Amino acid sequence: MAIIVDNDTRLVVQGLTGSEGRFHGLRNRAYGTNLVAGVTPGKGGQDVEGVPVYDTVVEAVTREGANTAMIFVPAPFAADAVYEAVDAGIATVICITEGVPAHDMLRIHAYIGTRGVTMIGPNCPGALSPGKANVGIIPAEIFNAGSIGLVSRSGTLTYQIGHELTQLGLGNSTIVGIGGDPIVGSSFIDVLGRFEADPETEYVVMVGEIGGDEEEKAAAFIEAEVTKPVVAYIAGFTAPPGKTMGHAGAIISGSSGTAEGKKAALEAKGIRVGTTPTETAQLVAEIARS
């Protein structure tokens, strides 16, 4: 069993009738993910290429046994979609939506924390366990199954490093894009803890970026709690201070949150840090083959 999604995943897509939800939901199904339902209020009774659409998540849970929700609804309604999924008994929520207000995520974070729900995102590419299930927008065809866990704040760097690993003949146990916003449902530490406990994961790659202190916190956690080899990459060595660089969380403030500072914090805990995605993949290969 993988750490986020696997063969037991029964997926409901909130927003399946929209263009993005339809496109990616059906791509997930084509990969082998068990897409059991869609939810769009007011469109219950319709279907999307044979996938039944319901008005509520409760109906998708009771009628189709949905246990995982993927959210593809506009940002102003994303928080309500999360609450609905959690209240319906969904155990894993993956929110792809970009632009969810930070104050909404503060409330959501507190809400899910007392209910044992796993949330990935928002503003994330989702989660993939190669050969088992893909929930999100990750191009699964460039990944192989293997023993390397990959957790990242960046979607495109996730794809690049995963592809680099594939080209080196290596594969991944699970890929998790946690999202690039300042407040997300699952942190590096949350996912690293799962990789540590996962028997299918032997090595871990952590892809960070400028802004915040999540990587520094993760470094301390890795030193104290993770026994498996970890290799890291930090994006943003040439980023100018004070500018938003793609992600809402990727902002350098003064001397805090720089790529150099994060690299130093990781290396101080004995974690090897690649300077490019290619070098990062090569470091993993070196460790895996030693």
Which residues belong to the annotated binding site for substrate? 159
CA distances to 38, 163, 237 from 254, rounded to whole Å, are 45, 34, 14
CA distances to 40, 43, 50, 57, 149 from 15, rounded to whole Å, are 6, 10, 15, 11, 29
Phi, psi (5° rounding) for residue 254?
Answer: 60, -130
Beta strands per DSSP E along 98-171: 118-120, 126-129, 133-136, 145-152
Q: Which residues are annotated as a binding site for CoA?
A: 17-20, 43, 96-98
Length of the chain: 290
Enumerate the active-site residues. 247
What DSSP designation does 257 have?
T
Residue with tokens 């460039």: 142
Three-class SS state of 16: coil
